[in-house]
Structure 1
Amino acid sequence: MTDQPTGKLLHHRAEGPESAPPLLLGPSLGTSLALWDGLAPELSAAHRVVRWDLPGHGGSPADLIGPGATVADLADLVLALADSLGIGRFAYAGVSLGGAVGLHLAAHRPERIERLAVICSSAHFNGARPWEERAELVRREGLAPVAASADDRWFTPGFTVPRLVEDHRTADPGAYAACCDALAAFDLRERLPSITVPTLLVAGREDPATPPSHLREIADAVPGSALAEIPGASHLAPAERPEAVLAALRGHFDGYPGRGMEVRRQVLGDAHVDRAQSRQTPFTARFQDFISRYAWGEVWTDPTLARRERSMITMTALVAHGHLDELAMHVRAARRNGLTPEEIGAVLLQTAVYCGVPAANSAFAVAQRVLAEEDAAPDGA
């Protein structure tokens, strides 16, 4: 993980492997990259996550924008950050103002955006006047009056995140007011039908600032987009309901659990997966999700090794640890992945050398039974 003060670039934090697909995370007005603390470590398991601070927020310089700033200006700063990191196309998720930046990029620079998630945001923010008034107030009196109402605007009653409220209180007033100018001028409704990148809208069901109707308006206009509503979440849903937002983002950016379940069925067969699913209980549900998401959705989909090779490695590991029930399942999987009985026998013979003769002896017995059952089964069974 790297936390970068970058001079004339947006302050940012990069997490995850540099070789992983890039995912940029944008914040809400008044917050910092801490807004993503509950999600970024999880998302960085499969992505190169780069979260950034708005000008004058967190560690970003205040003079990156000035009075009369627009969302287009902020989008240009995000692209400059991506360029500095050697990132061409990227997935993007943003909250509120950060979500507006994502919409702008998807509408105006679609060649840079792979997939988009817009969280607790809008294609317009209830007209210019409220934001103009807030900008005037902040320029005149500082952020104390606005920060005092942060909990009411951001969270459901009784919930708060002190770190984010403090970020609001300590942001630079001039840069904050300039961000208000950007929100006042933002209205992307006419451009929504032109957005073609895969788009997910996430609404906090209790959000008074950008209620679900605002996200529904975007979903209705952007072709092929999807909408998810998070119960018990207000405007800063990633801070208040991180697990629910994380599940939605994983499903959109990684194809979980859909991609993993598809591969699992291809390798193990529908009958096996259906049996496993039918035995699932609330106690085992999270484990089943883990298997589909991690083993099948990440490891088995990695194109570095072919499925034939993965089958050979898997059988070897199962013999080494004596997992004979699992071995039977993966002998069947090996046949689906194109291994012949002779090749399976050769793998097991190799295990006799490196895992021990008794282990290989038991493995040959299991494999012989499975292969005989496969030969005896009618075609298509």
Structure 2
Amino acid sequence: MTVALAHEVSGPRNGSPDAPVVVLLGSLGSNRSMWDPQIAALSDDCRVVAVDQRGHGESPAPDGPYSVRELSEDVLAVLDVLDVDAAHIVGLSMGGAIAQWLGAHAPRRVLSLSLLCTAAKFGEPHAWVERAAASRTDGPESLADAVVARWFSEGLTKRDPEFVRHYREMIAATSPEGYAACCDALADWDFTADLSRIAAPTLVLAGAEDPSTPPSVMQVLADGIAGARFEILSPAAHVANLEQAGAVTALLREHILGGGYARGRRAAHAEGMKVRRSVLGDAHVDRSIEGTTEFTAPFQDFIARTAWGDIWARPGLDHTTRRLLTIAVLTAVGNEHELDMHIRAALRGGVDADTIGEVLLHTAVYAGVPNSNRGFALAKKALADLSPGDSEDDSQT
């Protein structure tokens, strides 16, 4: 049975309704605040979901043992609650194990994977069994000094002891049973033989000074996942997203959002969708989007970026003029399907019927009477049909 996880949703600050969703999954002994640097930066352009895993932070801590599968199914339940079909999954340490499981077992829910300071197998089971017993007997407080020493490099520990002390307190505050039951899950974790099942684009980030999952351990992930990109950060130990916050965030942005070209495409698409809705109306655009398939998606993206995000968005002509030009051109080429849609959209957008009639008369002289005659017939039918219950076509544009 899944656990309802505490989570926080941030962004997108750019207001885009199509912003990618990014899910952040932290390490054993952490809560979602460990991702604060990434939340602040990624929420400009993304809808960021930071999660407290079961037994951690504000999430419930049912009696264990837990399994990585159960921890992963908790995350899928969060996506369902948020009505998110697929997301970019970022996982560090234990969160990285969950990300691997999702990549192999729920590939349709995963757009990309970012695996930070994690492993396909975290050492031998007996060490986790001993740690679970210590947590249940004496609490995570008894383990906090040893754990935080692995989280940060020696240089950072000496340079900023207050920073390190804050995260020691985070570990110590974790539920004893929640911490122990997650140790049980990691004791049974060995995904080495299943890495080849992961098809999502994957970024693998290691800390050069990480004693828990050193680069040699993470090389197994990079080698086992087809096409994975492998980067080593230094100085950084086990919680590299905090020690190398800027570098990690930049790599995540590039992996999730792409470079400048990809960002430009997304911006043009977002602008195009705004213009498209203002010209054609929400009902028509919603129907077109709902009818999108994997086959037609590239064409929908092309139209949104070029026709609507570029040409229709140019300041040289107002939208009324562009509507009339579109009606004239479609009449001239005899494209009845698109012509009917644009006549109806123009009438709903406030263009006077007499003005459309003048355009059709003018077109008759230069493009031929038969085409304009058909245009008048379509306009006449649109005027007769125009009502709150007026139906639209299934045009892709």
Give the count of matched residue pairs. Answer: 274
- Structure 2 matches for 1:215-226, cutoff 5 A? 215-226=218-229
Task: Give the partner amino acid of 1:173.
Answer: P
Residue-by-residue CA offset, 1:194-239 (whole Å, 9 max, x unaligned): 1111111111111110001121111111111111111111100111
Q: 1:176 aligns with which of 171, 176, 179?
A: 179
Separation of aligned partners in 2, 1:163 and 1:175: 20
Aligned residue among 142, 146, 150 for 1:149: 146
Relative to structure 1, the CA distance from residue 149 to residue 256 in structure 2 (aligned partners, 3 Å threshold; closer, same or farther) is same
Equivalences for residues 3-42 of structure 1 within 5 A: 8-17=3-12, 19=17, 20-42=19-41
1:347-371, CA deviations, whole angstroms, 9 ceiling, x for partnerless residues? xxxxxxxxxxxxxxxxxxxxxxxxx
Partner Cα separation in structure 1 for residue 180 and residue 144 of structure 2? 13
Structure 1 residue 86 corresponds to structure 2 residue 54:
no
Choose 1 or 2 for highest CA Rg. Answer: 2
Q: CA deviation digits over 1:10-43, x for unaligned, max 9?
A: 1100001483221111010011101110111211
Q: In structure 1, what is the equivalent of residue 102 of structure 2?
A: 105
> How many angstroms apart in 2 are the aligned matches of 1:297 and 1:233?
34
Q: Deviation above 4 Å: which 4+ runs of structure 1?
A: 307-317
Query: Counterparts of 1:309 and 1:57 in 2: how far apart (Å)?
Result: 46
Q: How do 1:158-197 and structure 2 match up within 5 A?
A: 158-159=156-157, 160-197=163-200
- Shift, 1:56, TM fit: 2.4
Residue 380 (structure 2) aligns with: none
Distance 1:11 1:163 in 2: 21
Q: What is the rounded CA distance, in whole Å, between the counterparts of 2:23 and 2:245 in structure 1?
A: 17
User: RMSD of the alignment, in Å?
Assistant: 2.2
Task: Specify the alignment match of 2:204 in structure 1.
Answer: 201
Contact kept? 1:136, 1:177, Cα under 8 Å: yes
Q: Which runs of 5+ in 1 are unaligned?
A: 1-6, 261-295, 318-381
Structure 1 counterpart of 2:86, one-letter code? R
Opposite residue 88 of structure 1, the aligned amino acid is: D
SS of the residue 2:203 aligns to: strand
Rounded to whole Å, the distance in 2 between the matches of 1:194 and 1:298 is 29
SS in 1 for 2:169: helix
Asked if residue 243 in structure 1 is aligned to residue 235 in structure 2, the reply is no
CA contact (8 A) 2:269 2:309 kept: no
Matched residue, 2:137: 140
* Identity among equivalent pairs (%): 35
Secondary structure, in 3 states, of the residue corresponding to 1:132?
helix
Please state if 1:229 is matched with 2:232.
yes
Tell me, yes or no, if the aligned pair for 1:228 and 1:248 is still in contact at 8 Å. Answer: no
Matched, 1:44 2:28: no
Aligned mates of 2:259, 2:168 — CA distance in 1: 33
Question: Which residue of structure 1 aligns with residue 258 of structure 2?
Answer: 255
Match of 1:293 in 2: none
Match of 2:69 among 72, 79, 84: 72
Partner of 1:14: helix, strand, or coil?
strand
Residue in 1 aligned with 2:340?
Answer: none
Q: TM-score, structure 1 length as denominator? A: 0.68
Query: How does the TM-score come out when normalised to structure 2?
Result: 0.65
- Give SS of 2:247's match: helix
